[in-house]
Structure 1
Amino acid sequence: MKYNHLFEKGRIGKLRIKNRIVMPAIGVSLAKSTGEASDELIAYYEERAKGGCGLIITEITRIDDEYGVGTSNQLSVTSSKHIPRLERLVKTIHKYDSKIFVQLHHPGRQTHSQLIGGKQVVAPSAIMCQKTKEMPRALTTEEVEGLVKKFVIGAKIAQTAGVDGVEIHGAHGYLINQFMSSYSNKRTDKYGGSFVNRMRFITEIILGIKHICGKDFPVSVRIDGDEFLEGGYKIDQGKKIAVYLESIGVDAINVSNGTYESGITIVEPISYPQGWKKHLAKTIKDAVKIPVIAVDVIRKPSFAEQLLDEGVQDFVAIGRGQLADSEWANKAFLGKEEDIRPCISCLHCFEELESGRMIKCAVNPKTSRELEFKEIEKSGDNRVVAIVGGGPAGMEAARVLALRGFKAVIFEKENELGGMLQYGNKPPKKEKITWLIDNMHHQIKELGVDIRLNTEATVEEIRKLDPYAVFVAAGAAPTVPPIPGVDNDNVYTIIDILGGKVSLKDKNIAVIGSGLTGLETAEYLGENGNKITVVEMLSEIGKGTNPSNLFDVMSRLKQFNTELIPNHRLMKINSNSITLMDTRSQKYTNKEVDAVVLSLGVSPRENMVKEIEDNFGVVRVIGDVNEAGRIAQATREGFEKAFVL
């Protein structure tokens, strides 16, 4: 595809940017605990600059050590000691003709007291965030004035290190957003009340930066186009804020949306389509003359081009897409769109961050480990490696082995690659899983991997290859509990349902197990006109599932009037009913159903592993056959074991 806009040069203020691709700020927790840029952080950003990104905006960068800590390993510009390492980061990015902004940040009430030495969190007003659930204290007027100076000092430190500009984080419910929004700002001093007063905090910051750093030093502001909160501001207020910011000298507006309390709209799960919120950026772009950057769940270069062509925005912000593939921009430029490893919006990256760990990507094991996997050793010497199973673990192992010069041979007993992904892509709104299957298949095909479909990997077949090593990635089998009636004709596994072996319509169905797979299978069955009951032994439906993914699928299950029964164990399956035991009272009840679908996890194929280990010397066990896991675990194990073979 020809891109008329995506690779055009652009400007923010007087700064020229080589294309329209921006890496927006994403927390990574890779900095040193002192706030300095670590070698790992530099390598992480270098990969995206090397990959062709025009402008990189750093993760949330601390301007206040006392109350402004967002993560424990957060980039910081609170002291001159941060300048040398930040300068090294800047010079590394500049090698690739990419530009870099530092995003200046203060979390306000959206942090935790444990991150700030046990002190009470602060905010414009003493109003609790319903996500963090810590009551803040209201900042004094003098404290607000002091924070203005800290933002300006942070900008000057960044400028001294050579950064090309700064972005002020005024979105996502953080401190500046808290001041701008009447939802969270109930102050009666000069920083609260009227629109002008609510904007005073950010106004003083911007004017201070322009005064200290010079009027030509670019300043972008990230704002919410819509807070997506009841009582929060909507797009008309977002537009008003953008117009005001332009009037006081801001050089670009970066349009986002949402707060922690409406977080599913900030970091969208898999069901949200590309461009679902593009109206926010378009409304603001039509109202201002300065450049507009925006995140719009952009996954494909063709869609990014479409947004630019439609005048929705001036720069496309691609965050998770460049976690999934650091070469996103270069591959698009070279017309290798099929080779771009797609972000599937699985939220693994943010699960890791919220757990206090460094950022990771389910489909790109190199993310945050760029130093560790800097060079692929090409020492395969065309030696044969047999791979049993063509799921994500097997395909990723094959890709890396081929890059290393091994002759990879995949045995896949089904008629297509993908393994469990071929079931995971069947529920509604899961087409991004198909994107991943297609990409992985394309990559190993391009690398010349020998793919043998409809072929059982017996010891005899593998032995014919005289392999140097065997990778066992044969997946796992659905768990079927030993209960009365489990062999009845009306009992199915999720494989039967999602694999298309059975089609159920207009039935009364019990889905046993409320993990994400069970809930998505319930949704799939609901779409086919069935009445659904979900039975869960634990006290919570979807326990352990990412909250955003759970909220997303549960909101759609409601439209099917799905009945949810937690605290109940399946005891017996009858011809037209099931017997359940209440795990609290131990009482038994019968419930009429036409069919039962088991979603109770999977069991590794241990017998296969033992047989292969007994017959071959070098054996690596990866994916579900090793231990039941998710896409992230499968791709990581496939990558790691192939990398060090």
Structure 2
Amino acid sequence: MPTMKYPHLFEQGKIGSLTLKNRVVMPGMGTNFSGHDGQITDQQITYYEERAKGGTGLIITEFTSVDYEYGRAGFNQLRIDEERFVPGIHRLANAVQKYGAKLFVQLQHSGRETYSMVLGGGRQIVAPSAVTCAAIGEEPRALTTEEVKEIINKFVMAALRCKNAGVDGVELHGAHGYLINQFLSPNTNLRTDEYGGSFYNRMKFVEEIVVGIKQVCGADFPISVRLSVDEFEEGGMMIPLSQEVARRLEMVGVDAIHASCGNYNSMNTMVETMQYEQGWRVYLAEEIKKVVNIPVITVGVIREPQFAESILAEGRADFIAMGRTHIADPEWAKKALEGRDDEIRKCIVCLYCTTKSQGHVKCSVNVRAGRELEFREFKKIEGKKHVAIVGGGPGGMEAARVLSLKGYQVTIFEKDNKLGGQLNLVTAPIPKEKMNWIIQYLSNEMKRLNVDVRLNTVASIEAIKALNPYAVLLATGAKPIIADIEGNTLPIVCDYEDVYLKRKHFAGNKIVVVGSGMVCYSVTSQLEKQGNEVTLVEIPTETGSKVTAPTKAMLHNRLTTAGVKIIEDHMVSAVRPDGMLMTNVAGEQIELEADHVVFSMGTESFNPLEESYRNHFDNVFVIGDAINPGSITHAMRDGFEKAYVLEDIAINKVATAELVES
């Protein structure tokens, strides 16, 4: 029988006349799963269905276009602006509702936060007023009064289509700088007609949408509105103004407020980096809850059931929305309900899901996310087979987890005294907490699945032979890159592991750090805090390219405020016994005096065992950083995929060998 460990979290709740089975909400997040014309796809339905099956009370779709001609935010965006999209939304509703979850469709118009290239046909982007969004860089055309009324009708008709499709309610996307937000904000609404000027005129756009929806869909058809309670932009939406907006929305019939923040100019507050603490946005929901009687939904880096429970128990919000949490673990709600907290795979806030550089949403810690159709089940193997894994980092542990679920006996050999590999090198407090989440999850899975973990153990050929393994996976990881320059073996040369593992004493010295990326910034900060005079020579690296511009700017500001000197646009020429030589863009050489030169340029594969192991074992496979270093994303994916198809690649390997011999 399910435990009542979290009674507030799993208490029924109401939005308007709609009863939800619990207080867990999956908010709208772009996926890029839609077809080229905005139609819903089988993958999209499966993605949402898995989260409904996992126990979520309310699922809000990704932003759904009500005006594909002028309002779409990107390619492959879901849409509901024509009747032909109703059947697809109906299929989605059926898929979600059969598990007892409810479905809202999030209705959205981008306004100025899109590109003319996205709109196509030479169309200029539109907005309430011709105010350019700095993050976009394109001047929008001000909508005419007639066009404003047409867009209001498009929202209303989109909601009616949703109701006809069997959806439980709609959410109006009035946050993140999109069109509704643009009408509400004094920064972006400079109109002089009935939809601009005074507070009441700026409210009129969203109010007429709400009233129109209630008229055509019925007073009991639920509407939530997502608001950027604080845009974190001078002159924009701030808490007092948003409180007034929320009061008005309640008066005209809105059934819930979803308290978010930011816009494209303050993107790092919309989609947080690792630097943000769990639940940092909850205070915004608290401020709205002070002035309304309708439910308030909070959101923002909420990962742990106990933390979510405390928000509800303290009356700070009525519902808990968790976005990336649901990407990382679609069964979050089910596991929390059953008291299986240790089995929850928490999002580590790495932002990989936001890149969509390879087509659609993916997840570093949940390889199945966005690939549910590809990895439907963990098919059990026949007979007993043993697999040895060398290395207990994230790739090795993920492979062990999947192999165990498929019925293999698994032994991990780890030379260190703990699991986690390179993840243990993170020292900055807030990111370290998040890295510890995935280490703890995988370590707990090793115990739960009875994986034989041998710490402080070198994987000798004899020890592995004693297991008579079906396959050996080499997850030996990576080692720090040292620049291939003159003097790179001098005693003053160090790498980031020397700092993290305290192999050398760093205090009161002049230190030059070379590199870029999150680890590099962390190393630099740590050395400065230890009382050193630190200069960061930032050079392009693969790890550095993965840091978003807002995050880089924020970290640069923190380092310079702390007294770190940052040098860019220079090449590193050589290391000398007393410092380092650089070359600037003019070709001039500059010498930096230093007691230590610390390289933090990323990693390269460390794979010393493959050649010898292939002489002793039939199925040897290299995985993770040992074959392609650089990120937890690749290590986890490679570990998962190799484990998932191990029988197939082993059979193919044997067949190929036999073919070569014949």
Q: Deviations over 1:201-247 (max 9, x none)?
A: 11111010000000000000000111100221210011111011001
Map residues 171-210 of structure 1 onto 2, 5 A cutoff: 171-210=175-214
Map residues 492-503 of structure 1 onto 2, 5 A cutoff: 492-503=494-505
Is the Cα–Cα contact under 8 Å of residues 274 and 430 in structure 2 kept in the other structure?
no
Q: In structure 1, what is the equivalent of residue 123 of structure 2?
A: 119
The 1:452–1:541 alpha-carbon spacing in structure 2 relative to 1, beyond 3 Å, is closer
Distance in structure 1 (CA, Å) of the matches to 2:52 and 2:80: 22
Deviation (angstroms), 1:569: 2.5
Matched, 1:440 2:442: yes
Map residues 466-505 of structure 1 onto 2, 5 A cutoff: 466-505=468-507
Deviation (angstroms), 1:541: 11
Is the Cα–Cα contact under 8 Å of residues 210 and 217 in structure 1 kept in the other structure?
yes
Distance in structure 2 (CA, Å) of the matches to 1:319 and 1:476: 32
Q: Deviations over 1:69-90 (max 9, x none)?
A: 1221121111111111211111
Is the Cα–Cα contact under 8 Å of residues 412 and 452 in structure 1 kept in the other structure?
yes
1:292 to 289, 292, 296: 296
Matched, 1:73 2:72: no
Distance in structure 1 (CA, Å) of the matches to 2:442 and 2:138: 44
2:409 to 396, 403, 407: 407
Q: In structure 2, what is the equivalent of residue 336 of structure 1?
A: 340
Distance in structure 2 (CA, Å) of the matches to 1:83 and 1:572: 65
The 1:144–1:431 alpha-carbon spacing in structure 2 relative to 1, beyond 3 Å, is same
Q: Deviations over 1:423-446 (max 9, x none)?
A: 134566431101111111001211
Deviation (angstroms), 1:164: 0.3
Deviation (angstroms), 1:606: 4.1
What is the one-letter code of the residue matched to 1:248? Answer: V
2:48 to 45, 55, 59: 45
Is the Cα–Cα contact under 8 Å of residues 476 and 607 in structure 2 kept in the other structure?
no
Is the Cα–Cα contact under 8 Å of residues 543 and 601 in structure 2 kept in the other structure?
no
The 1:480–1:628 alpha-carbon spacing in structure 2 relative to 1, beyond 3 Å, is same
Q: In structure 1, what is the equivalent of residue 321 of structure 2?
A: 317
Distance in structure 1 (CA, Å) of the matches to 2:384 and 2:627: 27
Distance in structure 1 (CA, Å) of the matches to 2:431 and 2:469: 41
> What's the TM-score once normalised by structure 1's chain length?
0.97
Is the Cα–Cα contact under 8 Å of residues 511 and 534 in structure 2 kept in the other structure?
yes
Is the Cα–Cα contact under 8 Å of residues 67 and 121 in structure 1 kept in the other structure?
yes
Q: Say which is worse superposed, 43-52 or 474-483, in terms of deviation.
A: 474-483
Secondary structure in 1 matching 2:181: helix
2:582 to 576, 580, 583: 580
Deviation (angstroms), 1:132: 1.4
Is the Cα–Cα contact under 8 Å of residues 129 and 188 in structure 2 kept in the other structure?
yes
Secondary structure in 2 matching 1:492: strand
Distance in structure 2 (CA, Å) of the matches to 1:548 and 1:453: 40
Map residues 115-514 of structure 1 onto 2, 5 A cutoff: 115-117=118-120, 118-352=122-356, 355=357, 357-379=359-381, 381-426=383-428, 429-514=431-516
Is the Cα–Cα contact under 8 Å of residues 541 and 602 in structure 2 kept in the other structure?
no
Deviation (angstroms), 1:16: 0.3
Distance in structure 2 (CA, Å) of the matches to 1:279 and 1:427: 22
Q: Is there any run of 5+ residues in structure 1 with no aligned partner, and where?
A: none
Distance in structure 1 (CA, Å) of the matches to 2:384 and 2:50: 29
Deviation (angstroms), 1:382: 2.9
Deviation (angstroms), 1:543: 4.3
Deviation (angstroms), 1:603: 1.8
What is the one-letter code of the residue matched to 2:482? Answer: V
What is the one-letter code of the residue matched to 1:77? Answer: I
1:565 to 564, 567, 578: 567
Q: Say which is worse superposed, 624-633 or 57-66, in terms of deviation.
A: 624-633
Q: In structure 2, what is the equivalent of residue 532 of structure 1?
A: 534
Is the Cα–Cα contact under 8 Å of residues 269 and 552 in structure 1 kept in the other structure?
no
Distance in structure 1 (CA, Å) of the matches to 2:382 and 2:595: 55
Secondary structure in 1 matching 2:129: coil
The 1:279–1:427 alpha-carbon spacing in structure 2 relative to 1, beyond 3 Å, is closer
Distance in structure 2 (CA, Å) of the matches to 1:615 and 1:525: 45
Deviation (angstroms), 1:499: 2.1
Is the Cα–Cα contact under 8 Å of residues 541 and 566 in structure 1 kept in the other structure?
no
The 1:267–1:148 alpha-carbon spacing in structure 2 relative to 1, beyond 3 Å, is same
Is the Cα–Cα contact under 8 Å of residues 273 and 297 in structure 1 kept in the other structure?
yes
Distance in structure 2 (CA, Å) of the matches to 1:93 and 1:41: 11
Distance in structure 2 (CA, Å) of the matches to 1:502 and 1:266: 40
Deviation (angstroms), 1:542: 4.3
Is the Cα–Cα contact under 8 Å of residues 191 and 201 in structure 1 kept in the other structure?
yes
Q: In structure 1, what is the equivalent of residue 656 of structure 2?
A: none
Deviation (angstroms), 1:605: 2.4
Deviation (angstroms), 1:555: 3.0
The 1:396–1:540 alpha-carbon spacing in structure 2 relative to 1, beyond 3 Å, is closer
Q: How many percent identity over aligned positions?
A: 47
What is the one-letter code of the residue matched to 2:324? Answer: R
Secondary structure in 2 matching 1:8: coil
Deviation (angstroms), 1:375: 1.1
Is the Cα–Cα contact under 8 Å of residues 539 and 567 in structure 1 kept in the other structure?
no
The 1:13–1:278 alpha-carbon spacing in structure 2 relative to 1, beyond 3 Å, is same
Distance in structure 2 (CA, Å) of the matches to 1:164 and 1:294: 20
Secondary structure in 2 matching 1:225: strand
Secondary structure in 2 matching 1:243: helix
> What's the TM-score once normalised by structure 2's chain length?
0.94
Is the Cα–Cα contact under 8 Å of residues 278 and 312 in structure 1 kept in the other structure?
yes
What is the one-letter code of the residue matched to 1:246? Answer: E
The 1:595–1:380 alpha-carbon spacing in structure 2 relative to 1, beyond 3 Å, is farther
Q: In structure 2, what is the equivalent of residue 31 of structure 1?
A: 34
2:19 to 8, 16, 19: 16
Matched, 1:57 2:60: yes
Secondary structure in 1 matching 2:63: strand
Distance in structure 2 (CA, Å) of the matches to 1:410 and 1:356: 32
Distance in structure 2 (CA, Å) of the matches to 1:321 and 1:539: 29
Is the Cα–Cα contact under 8 Å of residues 386 and 471 in structure 2 kept in the other structure?
yes
The 1:389–1:426 alpha-carbon spacing in structure 2 relative to 1, beyond 3 Å, is farther
Distance in structure 1 (CA, Å) of the matches to 2:544 and 2:402: 35
Q: In structure 1, what is the equivalent of residue 651 of structure 2?
A: none
Q: Deviations over 1:539-588 (max 9, x none)?
A: 99944522243233223212222211122222332333212222x22221
What is the one-letter code of the residue matched to 2:537? Answer: V
Distance in structure 1 (CA, Å) of the matches to 2:67 and 2:341: 42
Map residues 536-615 of structure 1 onto 2, 5 A cutoff: 536-538=538-540, 542-582=544-584, 584-615=585-616
What is the one-letter code of the residue matched to 1:524? Answer: Q
Distance in structure 1 (CA, Å) of the matches to 2:336 and 2:26: 15
Deviation (angstroms), 1:594: 1.8
Q: In structure 1, what is the equivalent of residue 652 of structure 2?
A: none
What is the one-letter code of the residue matched to 1:201? Answer: F
Distance in structure 2 (CA, Å) of the matches to 1:34 and 1:367: 23
What is the one-letter code of the residue matched to 1:133? Answer: G
Distance in structure 1 (CA, Å) of the matches to 2:345 and 2:546: 27
What is the one-letter code of the residue matched to 1:193? Answer: G
Secondary structure in 1 matching 2:580: strand
Q: Deviations over 1:90-109 (max 9, x none)?
A: 11111110000000001111
Q: Is there any run of 5+ residues in structure 2 with no aligned partner, and where?
A: 647-662
Distance in structure 1 (CA, Å) of the matches to 2:627 and 2:299: 38
What is the one-letter code of the residue matched to 1:479? Answer: I
What is the one-letter code of the residue matched to 1:301? Answer: P
Q: In structure 1, what is the equivalent of residue 654 of structure 2?
A: none
What is the alpha-carbon root mean square deviation over aligned residues?
1.7
Secondary structure in 1 matching 2:638: helix
The number of equivalent residue pairs is 642
The 1:569–1:380 alpha-carbon spacing in structure 2 relative to 1, beyond 3 Å, is farther
Secondary structure in 2 matching 1:430: helix
Is the Cα–Cα contact under 8 Å of residues 281 and 298 in structure 2 kept in the other structure?
no
Q: In structure 2, what is the equivalent of residue 633 of structure 1?
A: 634
Q: Say which is worse superposed, 149-158 or 456-465, in terms of deviation.
A: 456-465
